[in-house]
Amino acid sequence: MQLEQQLRNTLDKKDILLMTHIVLGYPSFEVNREVIRQMVENGVDCIEMQIPFSEPMADGPVILKANQDSLAAGTMVEDCFRFGAEMVETHAIPFLFMTYYNIIFKYGEEAFFERAAQCGIKGFIVPDLPPEMGAAFLELADRYELAPILIFAPTSTDDRMKQLAEYGRGFIYCVARRGVTGKKSEFDHDFDDYLGRCRAATELPLAVGFGIQSKEDIEALKGKADMAVIGSRTIRLVEAEGAQAVGAFIAGLR
């Protein structure tokens, strides 16, 4: 089933979906496995699994450190593929890969897509690859039926949003504010105007990420977005309290 339809089927039962973010291999694949189990059992609807990269330019200090520590521990791309296939086989929600283009380029674009499709991955988030520079990437995404997730930002013009939406599949990732991941976002009148522009530019579901940290944040998005993205907050939680703390936190977001 294509990613967009899978998400829309779930939206028929919920007023907003939850997507979470983990860095593969941080602090270990064993901990990743337990964190994902707790996330799914407590209502997460989609998970983006980040293949670590040495220079994750869109990520703040928490996710940057997680990337670096995972690489220092020896995490390889093939480890991520094997783990991704295991998670798809184990849990009945869509899984995405998030990474940076150099990883895909070095692996080989078509080989990367073919391997991801074999694993059952539903799509990709590649924040440093604008569609104008990724024609072959987008062609392969269509061929292998993997959704390329495009990104809107508050600085995006209306015309640019419409251009990006033409290439996007699955959903649009709406960055809540300028800057990198991890800092809390403010949901004020300007933010509402921004989400209104996002909604006018596409018929795809809208996911909002960067700085979503609490139930109150998610409540503020209901009726405006289709999915809330939790990233740095759960990584901090695992660092401070261990994987066993994730389930109660996710359950408390509803």
Every domain of the chain and the residues it spans: 3-251
Instruction: Assign 80 to helix, strand or coil.
Output: helix
Number of H helices, E strands in the chain: 12, 8
Instruction: State the maximum Cα–Cα separation within the chain, in Å, rounded to a whole number.
Output: 45
Is the domain covering 3-251 a CATH 3.20.20.70 domain?
A: yes
- Catalytic residue at 145? no
pLDDT at 179: 39
Which residues, in sequence order, are bridge partners of residue 46? 19
Beta-carbon contacts of 128 under 8 Å, excluding residues fewer than 6 positions away, are: 57, 58, 100, 101
Is residue 5 within 8 Å of 33, Cβ to Cβ? no
Q: How far apart are CA 154 and CA 152, in angstroms?
A: 7
* Phi, psi angles (nearest 5°) of residue 123: 180, 180
User: Which member of 48, 114, 188, 193 is catalytic?
Assistant: 48
User: Which member of 45, 59, 217, 226 is catalytic?
Assistant: 59
Burial class of residue 231 in the structure, from the number of CB atoms within 10 Å of its CB (0-12 exposed, 13-18 middle, 19+ buried): buried
pLDDT digits (tens, 9 = 90+) for 76-94: 999 999 999 999 999 999 9
- Residue ranges in the chain whose pLDDT is less than 70: 1, 177-188
pLDDT at 187: 66
Q: How far apart are CA 2 and CA 71, in angstroms?
A: 31
- Catalytic residue at 48? yes
